[in-house]
Amino acid sequence: MADYTPLEVPATELSELPLMHPGRPVGRDTLIKELYDSARQNRPILLYGERGVGKTALAAALSAAFIQQPGGVLWLDGQVPTFAALLVKIGRAYGLDDVTQSQKPGGLVGMVASSLMQHRPLVVIDNLETVADTTALLPFLRQLANPSKFLLTSRWSLQSESGIFCYSLHELNTIDALAFLRHEAEVRGIQALIDARQAQLERIYGVVGGNPLALKLVIGQARFLPLTQVLTNLQEAQGHQVHDLYTYIYWQAWQLLDDAGRRLLLVLPVESN
């Protein structure tokens, strides 16, 4: 059989993370410092908040701080149905054939634990809410939290659970949201937003708020449409519920794509964070 590299492998370079490192997230300096300090103390961390608020981007920023430390970063997608399936993912990362080939990997927790204690990575579990049996996962995290480090992201809090340090991620405030718009415009080279007046950016914030995903969707429109048209479109969407607002903005983006772009959008995974 030919050798292969499993999807779940510890990353030791930024380019090996499963998403592009976003740089230092705008408006999150204080929280990043708190997360970093907690991770350095080997505390299991849960970062929770609504969809699109930037949990995954913040996890990537924290991962960048640990990427070249011994053990690197083991980034796992939490979209698995059971704790046993999560153990198999970790088993693949470290070549634990007994775990990956077992009919009952849940009975081999000790083997997985020993491997993590040996390698000491920062373990990121993104989208934890999709793991059905968190009651099995949490004792595992508490057991291994030293020397391993754990960072979880979820839409739901685990404040009622002991030994898990929960941090709530909220929308950006007005000042940070406008700075975010300016920053993204510079990065993407969208001159209309770079040259936009303060009042125009405030109109965008007034409709979509400080949710980074919603702001990025608007920024994407400004690449193809005059800013006045973007603002008119947003005015029509004002007052919609968040879900309806996203649908509206996605539909506007769809109208701007050619056939190849639409086919690409259809096969892209949905990013819930």
Give the chain's largest Cα–Cα span.
62
Same domain flag for 105 and 222? no
Compute φ and ψ for 149, nearest 5 degrees: -120, 145
Cβ 119 vs Cβ 35: under 8 Å:
no
The alpha-helical segments, DSSP class H, found in the chain are: 29-40, 55-66, 83-93, 97-100, 109-119, 134-144, 174-188, 191-194, 198-208, 212-222, 227-237, 242-255, 259-267
Same domain flag for 27 and 143? yes
Cβ 13 vs Cβ 20: under 8 Å:
no
**Is 126 within a domain?**
yes
Render each residue's pLDDT in the chain as its tens digit; 273 residues. Answer: 334 345 578 888 888 887 766 577 899 999 999 999 998 888 889 999 988 899 998 999 999 989 988 889 999 887 777 888 889 999 999 999 999 999 998 888 889 999 999 999 999 998 887 655 677 788 888 878 777 889 999 888 888 888 889 999 999 999 999 999 999 999 889 898 999 999 999 988 988 889 898 888 888 888 877 888 878 877 776 655 555 666 666 666 666 666 665 555 444 444 444
DSSP-derived letter for residue 163 is T
Same domain flag for 231 and 147? no
Please give the pLDDT value at position 258.
64
What's the pTM? Answer: 0.81
User: Where does a domain end: 168, 194, 220?
Assistant: 168
Same domain flag for 57 and 154? yes
Structural domain for 217, as ranges = 174-267
**Using CA atoms, how far apart are residues 122 and 101, in angstroms rounded to an integer?**
25
Please give the pLDDT value at position 262.
55
Same domain flag for 213 and 113? no
Give the Cβ contact number of residue 36 at 10 Å: 15
Please give the pLDDT value at position 140.
83
